Structure 1
Amino acid sequence: MKMKFIPIVVASLFAVGVHAADGAIKDGTYRAETVNFDDKGWKPFVEVTYKDGKIAAVKFDYNSQKDGHLKTTDVEYNKKMKAASGTNPTEYTVKLAQGLVEKQNPEGVDGVTGATHSSEDFIVLANAAVANAKAGKTDVAKVE
C-alpha cells in the first residue's frame, strides 16, 4: 500500500501556521486511517489523544477487512510474525505509541526492527492525526 505523504506535510505546515495564533491544541482524540485496506486485508489507524496541549496517549493498530478484528488480537498472526521477524503487532504497536508520547513528534519516533512497513504506516498516520489536532479538526484524517 502506498500512502501519499506530501499532502500531509503540506496540510501539517498549513495547520501549524493557522493554529499558531493561539498555540493551544484542544484536548481530545484525533484519528487517522488509510482509505483502503492493504493487499493482506488490513487497514491501519492511529488515534492520538491530547491532554493539556500534549500527546498523552496513542493507539496504533490495524482492522481486518474480513471481520473488523484488530491485528493485535489475532493470536495466530502474532505468533507467526514473531517467529518470522522477531516482533509482532502486540509489541511494535506499543513501542511506536510510546515513542510518540515520549517524543511528542511523529518524526522523532524510531522505527521498530522487523516491522519496517508498519513503522512507516505509523509515522504517516501519526503525522495526519497530529495535523488534524493542530488544525482543530475532529474528523478522521483519511490517508491514501
Structure 2
Amino acid sequence: MKFEESKYFNTLKTHKLTMSFGEFYFCEKFFVAEVHEGIHFDWDMIKKVMDKLVEFHGQGIKLGYISNRINPYSVDPQSWIKVDAEYNIIIASAIVYYNNIAFMNATLEKKFYKKSIKRCLSLDEAVDWILNIKELN
C-alpha cells in the first residue's frame, strides 16, 4: 500500500516531496520513502532527500525512517553508514516488504546498519512501531 493511500496520509501532518526517483513523505516523527521501480537509490539521491529533510525539519531533528518497498529497486547498504556520519538524524528504521526478494534485501541491510531496523509486513506495522520508539516520544 502506498503511503498516500493509507489512513496516515490524511491524519498526520504530511509534506510530500516528489523527486524523479521517488516519493518521500515528511511527518513530525518519521519520514517515508517510496522509491520508483528499477532505480539504484545511490548516495547522490539519498543526499538530496536528506538535505530536503534537514531543510524541512531543521538541524538536530531525530526521526524514524520507513522504507515502503512497494517497488523493486536497489540500494547500497553501506550508504546508511554515510547517512549516520553526515546527518545523524535517523533513530531507527522500518522496512516494509511485499515479497521474498525485498525481505532478503532488508535482511542484508540489517547486517550493515548498526541502528535498529525492523522488517514489517505492512505499513500499519511500520508506522505503529516507529511511533512507539521511546526516543521519538
TM-score by length of 1: 0.27
TM-score by length of 2: 0.28
The structure whose RCO (Cα within 8 Å, separation 6+) is larger is 1
> More strand by proportion, 1 or 2?
2
| Larger CA Rg, structure 1 vs 2 | 1
